[in-house]
Amino acid sequence: MFAFVLMPFDAAFDDVYKLGIKETAEKLGIRAERVDEQIFHKENILERIYRQIDAADIIIADMTGRNPNVFYETGYAHAKGKLCLLLTSRADDIPFDLKHHRHLIYGDSIQNLRQALEKDLDWLKSEFANRKSILTVRLNRTSGLLTKTKWSAKGTVDVVFDLNNDTTVPSPEIEAIYFEAGRGWTFTQDGQECAVRQSETDKSVSSYFVRPPLRRLQAKSWAQIKITGERILENAYGANQEPVVLKESYKIAGRATVRIVTTEGTFDFPVDLDVKVDEFPF
* Confidence grade of residue 280 (pLDDT, cut at 50, 70, 90): low
Q: Of 113, 130, 147, at which residue does a domain stop? A: 130
Residues 223 and 141 in one domain: yes
Q: What is the Cα–Cα distance from 145 to 190, expressed in whole angstroms? A: 18
Residues 152 and 211 in one domain: yes
Domain that holds residue 206: 135-278
**Do 233 and 193 touch, CB atoms closer than 8 A?**
no
Q: What is the Cα–Cα distance from 177 to 212, expressed in whole angstroms? A: 6
Residues 105 and 163 in one domain: no
* Per-residue pLDDT reduced to its tens digit, 5-38: 999 888 888 899 999 999 999 999 999 998 887 6
Residues 122 and 139 in one domain: no
Query: What per-residue confidence (pLDDT) applies to 281?
Result: 57
Residues 140 and 107 in one domain: no
Residues 45 and 143 in one domain: no
Residues 147 and 252 in one domain: yes
* Per-residue pLDDT reduced to its tens digit, 209-236: 999 999 999 999 999 999 999 999 998 8
**3-state SS class at 25:** helix
Q: Of 102, 130, 158, at which residue does a domain stop? A: 130
Residues 52 and 172 in one domain: no
* Per-residue pLDDT reduced to its tens digit, 87-102: 988 888 777 667 677 7
Residue 216, sorted as left (phi over 0), alpha (psi -120 to 50) or beta, turns out to be beta
Residues 43 and 144 in one domain: no
| Total of domains in the chain | 2
The arithmetic mean of pLDDT across residues 59-65, rounded, is 91
Q: Of 85, 110, 130, at which residue does a domain stop? A: 130
**Do 213 and 258 touch, CB atoms closer than 8 A?**
no
